[in-house]
Chains A and B, each alone.
Chain A
Amino acid sequence: MAKAEATFHVFRGEAADAESGVEASGEYQEYKVPVEEGMVVLDAMHYIQGEDAPDLAVRWNCKAAKCGSCSAEINGKPRLLCKQRMDALPLDEPIVVSPLKTFPLVKDLVTDVSWNYKMNAAIPPFQPKEEDTDKWEVFENDVVRTQEFRKCIECFLCQDVCHVLRNHDRKDAFAGPRFMVRLASLDMHPMDARNDRVKYTKEEAGIGLCNITKCCTEVCPEDIKITDNAIIPMKERVVDEFYDPVMKVLRGIGLAHKK
């Protein structure tokens, strides 16, 4: 079989830098890459680095879909570069590789995702109900829900695709699906002692801005049911806590279980 060749249009460009006087720039550059069996797009980026453009900036670490570093957009779709197989892409037209759109460009395929780290640090930490873990009795049933959320590899693909952040740029008011998942993982942790997470989810994380389009769920490489299992239950908890007078009274006298 003759070796197939793929044409890539890879975004090359960088952000403005006041200190060195570099101006913002960017355009798609064409590269030809021989296609080998079982190749993924990250392999193609490495091929381009090795042969044509040693300074092509791309983040990656594990090359096994475990670290969530290599997020980018392939033909306009948010994907992990290391998980996107070449043979699943049409080769008769150029494959377009772009950086995540929702976050500011650093260079080429690398974006500044530091906003996510700030959102994470603002979330109140886990606080155990009981310090002595030998006294804990936690069963498989108690942890399945939070374990689904704890599989998150922080690839931020869901953040990239969510229209509240992507099209409306409401980073000021909405923490995004990734952090809805994180808040849910804490609120559904069987041993977490805090009772202010629902309030935080409503008031600080802005869960009300999500209108359940489920785009986030579709792109999650860990198959976390972000909308159904994290966001909707958290929205329900918000309703219970803030808008349901019966629940409010029950909670007041300690009858409503939180977890």
Chain B
Amino acid sequence: MAKKSYETKYECHTHDVLVIGAGGAGLRAAIEASSQGLSVGLICKSLLGKAHTVMAEGGVAASMGNVDPDDGWKTHFRDTIHGGKFLNNYRMAELHAKESADRIRELERWGAVFDRTEKGKIMQRPFGGHTYRRLCHVGDHTGLEIIRTLQDKGVHSGIDVYMEATITHLLKEDGRISGCIGYWRESGRCVIFNAKAVILATGGIGKGFKVTSNSWEYTADGQGMAYRAGAELIDMEFVQFHPTGMVWPNGVKGLLITEAVRGEGGLLTNSEGERFMKNVDPERMELSTRDIVAKAINKEVKEGRGSPHGGVFLDISHRGPEYVRKKLPGMYRQLLEFADVDITKGPMEVGPTTHYTMGGIRVDADTAQTTIPGLFACGEVAGGMHGANRLGGNSLSDLLVFGRRAGLGAVEYANGLKEQPQIDDADVKAAVKELSQPFERDDGENPYAIHKDLQELMQSKVGIVREEGELKEALDELQTLKGRAKNIAVTGARQFNPGWHLAIELDNMLIASEMVARCALQRTESRGAHTRIDHEGYNEHWGKTNSTINANGEEMVIGQSTLMEMPDDLKALAYEEKK
């Protein structure tokens, strides 16, 4: 066959299955696809083993029943549905609850070393929203253990790993996937991948917000690419804010302060010294659920009773230095070393930090296929599993369960194709042109300045508490930002140029931010992580409805679709009274 012109111009690679993203979800997917004997490529924008998954602390949820023998998939299923405020894709929640324990056993077989019980089994700890002690963990670095185990398994599975390559466009032939294009961060050169099936496992969107626990990689690339390629997304209004992230000093802004600080007796106060939680949840006070605490903090700040740097005070020092050092050794050391904040001596300044994206690309529960044939999605980039609110620990297990399923789904699809799909020269040309544009403008906007403005906007108007007027203003301002982004100019060469990288990523962040704002405006109720002060409480219609997002040319189309109804046996489980 004659070579296409792009093949002579650019570096090209061909695989059966291509996985974009090497966090827990992508690695697990690649291992599965490779174990079925197909040729697999795994691409990530940073070095292998550095993905966001490495930051997860608390643990991974699986109803193994090692500590509480009564636990089982049914309780885990019910907890997940309750946590998600009944908006979950029930089939995903069911598969997740049934399969996560097997995925943990498998990790152990691959060499993971979890903390142990006295009987020599994997230790499990309690966490908000889980009826039983369910989170398997390794101290406070569970994510590191998971990613290292998968990484070591992966490098011996014959997977081709492409590190520090950023994918920017998905490519299609006749409506089905045919590959993708991106650039090497190091050289700035384009690289093209041809594949029968592509799995997106690129994570979340947190970098669109000012205060976030997320790493630089969370620029919504997967959401943006899938949208531009014509895939449907759902429920993007549901963004989880963890109530206690550091707001000050800058060196630790966004850093997560674990729930254990409040568990050990930490007190939340406003600038008047008042324990304001008594106004919203006098019974549980500081130990109320994540969404309630986050909203209460937000209210104090908005009403002018915040701390000097826009948070509230969290103080554990009254427990005495010895107690604090014994119970919270990691936290104590980290804050002292990093930020010169001695939590045995005085309060921290904390506020809600953007943490997790519940919404995402619509997938089929069993195969993880999106609405584009040959395109699959798993992990944080996929939507549905967690409904309106995710329980702690349910993400790491989600990565393993649906990473594996996406791998299997992609293999089955790829095996069903008679021939390798073809990449269109014109698509390559268009993508390459788009990538070079920021270099061609002599005088234009600074990408860092636009990013900063976007973060301010999302934080203040599309943040934790929303209202029609502000959302509309935000949408107007987003249009202005989009206009400015079209006029970005970058300086320097193409080699490892962060300004250019950001210029390209901004496109995706702007798309995802618009999705969040539009869906938030449409959903006239408050549910889980989405709060409208002008529409308090649940609404029956919205309780059965997913938000949908599709591209129609340049226009973003927001719609609604009816939530899949649970079969009766699952319904009985979900609505069963908690013991």
Stretch at the interface among B245-253, B316-324, B364-372: B245-253
B497 touches A57 (CB 8 A): yes
Given A38-B341, A39-B251, A153-B144, is A49 in contact with B498 using a C-beta cutoff of 8 Å? yes
Say whether B217 contacts A110, CB under 8 Å: no
Main secondary structure of the interface of A (DSSP, over half): loop
Q: How far is the CB of B327 from chain A (nearest CB, A)?
A: 19
- Residue B447 at the chain A interface, CB threshold 8 Å: yes
Cβ contacts under 8 Å, A131 to chain B: 109
Q: Interface on B for A, CB 8 Å cutoff?
A: 46-52, 54-55, 105, 108-111, 113, 115-116, 118-121, 138-139, 141, 144-145, 148, 152-153, 155-156, 163, 186-187, 215-217, 248-252, 254-255, 334, 337-341, 446-449, 452, 490-493, 495-500, 502
- Which residues of B lie under 8 Å from residue A146 when comparing CB positions? 113
The contact sample of 12 A-B pairs, CB cut-off 8 A, is: A14-B495, A22-B493, A38-B338, A49-B499, A50-B448, A54-B498, A57-B496, A57-B498, A69-B47, A117-B48, A151-B141, A154-B49
Stretch at the interface among A58-66, A162-170, A211-219: A58-66
Chain A residues 124-167 with CB under 8 Å of chain B are 125-126, 128, 131, 133-134, 136-140, 142-143, 146-147, 150-151, 153-154
Contact flags (1/0) for A63-84 with B, using CB distance below 8 Å?
Answer: 1111111000000000000010
- Are A113 and B47 in contact, with the CB atoms below 8 A? yes
Q: For B339, give its contact among A17, A38, A114 (CB under 8 Å).
A: A38
- Known A139-B120, A143-B116; judge A55-B498 contact (CB<8 A): yes
Main secondary structure of the interface of B (DSSP, over half): loop
Known: A38-B340, A55-B499. 4 other contacts (CB 8 A): A85-B338, A126-B111, A146-B113, A150-B113
Asked if B153 and A55 sit within 8 Å, CB to CB, the answer is: no
Count chain A residues whose beta carbon lies closer than 8 angstroms to a beta carbon of B.
63
Would you call A27 an interface residue if the criterion is a C-beta within 8 Å of the partner chain's C-beta atoms?
no
Q: Closest B-chain residue to A154, C-beta based? A: B49
- The residue in chain B whose Cβ has the minimal distance to the Cβ of A137 is B120
Q: In the complex, A40 Cα to B119 Cα: how many Å?
A: 44
Q: Min CB distance, B511 to chain A, in Å? A: 22
Separation of A196 and B153 alpha carbons in the complex (Å): 19
Q: A107 CB to closest chain B CB, in angstroms?
A: 4
A66 and B55: CB pair below 8 A?
yes
In the complex where A66-B141, A125-B156 touch, is A150 in contact with B337 (Cβ < 8 A)?
Answer: no
Partner of B498, one of A56, A117, A140: A56
Among A55, A68, A138, A192, the residue within 8 A (CB) of B491 is: A55
Contact B249–A139 (Cβ < 8 Å): no
- Which residue in chain A gives the minimum CB-CB distance to B186? A106
Q: Which of A37, A64, A85, A147 contacts B113 (CB 8 A)?
A: A147
